[in-house]
Structure formats: structure tokens, C-alpha cells
């Protein structure tokens, strides 16, 4: 007996010349690194192949973040044990605890972003939540003298203000930038993760991920999620850009190291010629889906999103963009399009209700959240 799922996997492997298609995958979702878009890709993969995802327990939307990850942050871990296929919600990495949840053959990957635009993005997004950001007028003022605003003893409130990627990987974001320490951490990350992607080269990252996991093109197709409007971007001065390299020196070293290894990996496994060809295919497919799905052919500001069930979570001074879907879609196409534009919190809540129907649904304060009994109706008739 061969299940339909196994047959699909077998056909995909033959098509790509792969030897092993990965269905056990752990994605460390870092902050402000296009990781919400990756999470949507992961969630759609879960649904496409009827996999099990390690979701936050009870009313949590993160896996315990910013606390260091423990198995108790996963819903029903005690009952399900080491039988989850996918883990991708925010957590602060703790390898020994994560390995208790995920199978031995799990593929581990994460994503990094250039710390210069990352810090500016964090400043806007977390402006109201982070003391160091809140009491400074703008990002350039903050960077001119960060220690006037940033107090290490308040690190739990200020984690987004310095070396946030370093923190997400489980390390001390206020550690002294000792070269020996930095090299030890880099080796540790290389030991724990099979692949580190680069958000600044997102399409190239998706192609590398596709090859690494033996997935097909539609598994990594995406619409950009959790992005913000251009008018909320603050222009960094040249001096501020240089100061970020020093202020966030741990993240800067992390980024430089894995940016280099990213391109080395591409040259070794794909080659630049094939990469360019596949990136073009990805963009063509994305354009085709945008023409099929989207009313406006692009993301729109929060005030212009017609169906508030698809309104992304809004934070700080950012205007987080979303999408309007076309009204003339057949039910099957509509379902595909809705999943591609579904924001992170809504998708987490939706999968939670499907995977744990006997549990109390998450109270996220969002309108028209779906559950398993409503899915057929609400995913077929948008507001």
C-alpha cells in the first residue's frame, strides 16, 4: 500500500532528481528578516501534505519567546512527543529542548538580514514597545548615542534594540565582541543548522531552500507578508549605518559569515547559471499568481484592506501592508489565494483549531477567525 502523500513525494523526487524529500523541518523564525513570509510557506506546506506542526500552547502565539525555548511551550507535547513534522513559530533557540520535539532526521534552517536595514525596521516596528526606542526621537538620534537610551539591565524589554538575531539564536546579545567568542558561536550555529538563508537575497534563498529540502517550485512560491509602507521608512545617515556595524557588532559578524557561506553553498550545489534561471521561473510564477489572486496586483496599506479578516497585526509606527483578493475566483482558487495572503496570527490560530479542535481557540482579538467547522464557508465566501 502506497499512500497518496508518499506517491506525491516520490513523483517530486523523480522530477527534481532528489534522493530525500524533507518533511521534518525546523525553521528558526528570526525577527524582521522576512521570516513571516517563510512561516506562511511552511504553514502551506503543512496543509499541502497533511503534516503536524508544533504550535504554541494555550493562548500563546510564540513558542515561549523571549524566554529560552522549553518543550512545555508546545501544545500537547506530552501527548504527541517527538512526532511533529514542522516547527516554525517564534522561539529563542535551545537545541537540547528543540531536539526533544523534532525527529532525529529534522532539517534545521534559519534566515538572517543585513543588520543595517534590520535595525531601522526594528526601530519603527517596536517603537512603542522598546524603552530604548520609545524615548528617542528617531533612529538616527538613537544611533548617535545608543547608551543614552539603552540600559542592558532592561535587556528583556530592549532585546530588539541590539543584536536581535544573536539573541534569537539563543546567545547573549550584550556579550563583549570578543573574536574567540564570536568564532565559537558561529561554529555552534553551523553545527546546529543545516542552512542559513539571507533575506536580502530572498528569491535566491527560496531556490536554495527548494533544492536543499527537495521541494517543488510551488512549495516556495510566496507573496511578501508583514512588509510596511514606504512612508514609514526612516532614512539612515551614512554615520548611522557605520554605527550599526559597531553597536550590533555581533549581528554584523553573524551576517557577514553566513552571507559568505550562503553564496558558497549556491556555487557548490546549484551554480549561478541555474540559480538565475530558477529565480526567473519563481518570479514568473509569482507574477502569475498575483494576477490570478490580487485585486490591486500589490500590497495595500492597512486602511485599504477590505476584508479585515486578512488585516495583519499592526505595531509601532509601521503601516503593515496586506492584500485584497479578486471577487471572481472559483472556490478552489480562492482557497489557494486566501492561504497565500493569510497573516501570521490568523494562520497560527487557524491551524491550531484544525490540529487541536478540542482546545479553546486562541483569543487574538482579530475578526472572523476561522476554525475547522467554519472553514468551508468562510474560505469560500470572503466578506
How do residues 68-104 score in pLDDT, each as one tens digit?
Answer: 999 999 999 999 989 999 999 999 999 999 999 999 9
Mean pLDDT confidence for 218-237: 92
Query: What would the pLDDT profile of 95-152 be if each residue is shown by its tens digit?
Result: 999 999 999 999 999 999 999 999 999 999 999 999 999 999 999 999 999 999 998 7
Task: Check residue 111 and give its pLDDT.
Answer: 98
Asked if the model's pLDDT at residue 10 lies above 70, the reply is no
CB–CB of 55/74 below 8 Å? yes
Write out the H or E segment, with its range, that includes residue 101.
Answer: helix 95-101
DSSP symbols for 41-83: HHHHHHHHTT--B-PBPTT-SSSSTTSBP-GGGBTTHHHH-S-
Query: What cell numbers appear for 233 in the block?
Result: 521608512
pTM summary value: 0.90
C-alpha triplet 322, 89, 151: angle, nearest 5°: 90
Query: What cell numbers appear for 85 in the block?
Result: 513534522
Percent over 70 (pLDDT), the chain: 90
Query: What would the pLDDT profile of 167-179 be if each residue is shown by its tens digit?
Result: 999 999 999 999 9
Query: What would the pLDDT profile of 12-31 be if each residue is shown by its tens digit?
Result: 444 445 777 899 999 999 99
Asked if the model's pLDDT at residue 66 lies above 80, the reply is yes
Task: Check residue 366 and give its pLDDT.
Answer: 53
Q: What mean pLDDT, rounded, does the chain reach? A: 90
Query: What cell numbers appear for 225 in the block?
Result: 507578508
In whole angstroms, what is the distance from residue 35 CA to residue 199 CA?
A: 8
How many angstroms separate the Cα of 302 from the Cα of each of 129, 211, 244, 335? 20, 35, 30, 22
Task: Check residue 6 and give its pLDDT.
Answer: 45
Amino acid at each position: 500500500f502506497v499512500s497518496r502523500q508518499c506517491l506525491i513525494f516520490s513523483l517530486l523526487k523523480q522530477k527534481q532528481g532528489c534522493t530525500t524529500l524533507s518533511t521534518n523541518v525546523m525553521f528558526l523564525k528570526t525577527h524582521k528578516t522576512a521570516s513571516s513570509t517563510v512561516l506562511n510557506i511552511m504553514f502551506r506546506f503543512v496543509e499541502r501534505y497533511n503534516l503536524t506542526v508544533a504550535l504554541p500552547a494555550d493562548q500563546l502565539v510564540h513558542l515561549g519567546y523571549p524566554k529560552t525555548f522549553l518543550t512545555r511551550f508546545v501544545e500537547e507535547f506530552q501527548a504527541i512527543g517527538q512526532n511533529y513534522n514542522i516547527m516554525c513559530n517564534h522561539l529563542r533557540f535551545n537545541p537540547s529542548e528543540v531536539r526533544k520535539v523534532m525527529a532525529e532526521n529534522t532539517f534545521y534552517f534559519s534566515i538572517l538580514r543585513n543588520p543595517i536595514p534590520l535595525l531601522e525596521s526594528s526601530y519603527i516596528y517596536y517603537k512603542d514597545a522598546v524603552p530604548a526606542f520609545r524615548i528617542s526621537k528617531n533612529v538616527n538620534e538613537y544611533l548617535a548615542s545608543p547608551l543614552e537610551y539603552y540600559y542592558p539591565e532592561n535587556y528583556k524589554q530592549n532585546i530588539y534594540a541590539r543584536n536581535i538575531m544573536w539573541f534569537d539564536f539563543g546567545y547573549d546579545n550584550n556579550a563583549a565582541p570578543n573574536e574567540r567568542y564570536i568564532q565559537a558561536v558561529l561554529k555552534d550555529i553551523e553545527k546546529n543548522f543545516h542552512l542559513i538563508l539571507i533575506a536580502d537575497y530572498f528569491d535566491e534563498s527560496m531556490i536554495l531552500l527548494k533544492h536543499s529540502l527537495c521541494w517543488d517550485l510551488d512549495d516556495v512560491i510566496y507573496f511578501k507578508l508583514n512588509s510596511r509602507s514606504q512612508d514609514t521608512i526612516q532614512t539612515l545617515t551614512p554615520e548611522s549605518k557605520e554605527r550599526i556595524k559597531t553597536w550590533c557588532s555581533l549581528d554584523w559578524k553573524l551576517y557577514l559569515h553566513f552571507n559568505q557561506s550562503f553564496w558558497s553553498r549556491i556555487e557548490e550545489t546549484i551554480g549561478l547559471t541555474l540559480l538565475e534561471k530558477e529565480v526567473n521561473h519563481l518570479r514568473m510564477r509569482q507574477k502569475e499568481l498575483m494576477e490570478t489572486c490580487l485585486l490591486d496586483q500589490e500590497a495595500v496599506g492597512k486602511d485599504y484592506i477590505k476584508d479585515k479578516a486578512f488585516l495583519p497585526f499592526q505595531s509601532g509606527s509601521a503601516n503593515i501592508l496586506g492584500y485584497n483578493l479578486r471577487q471572481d475566483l472559483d472556490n478552489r482558487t480562492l482557497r489557494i489565494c486566501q492561504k497565500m495572503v493569510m497573516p501570521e496570527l490568523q494562520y497560527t490560530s487557524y491551524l491550531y483549531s484544525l490540529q487541536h479542535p478540542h482546545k479553546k481557540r486562541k483569543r487574538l482579538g482579530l475578526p472572523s477567525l476561522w476554525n475547522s467547522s467554519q472553514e468551508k464557508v468562510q474560505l469560500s465566501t470572503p466578506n
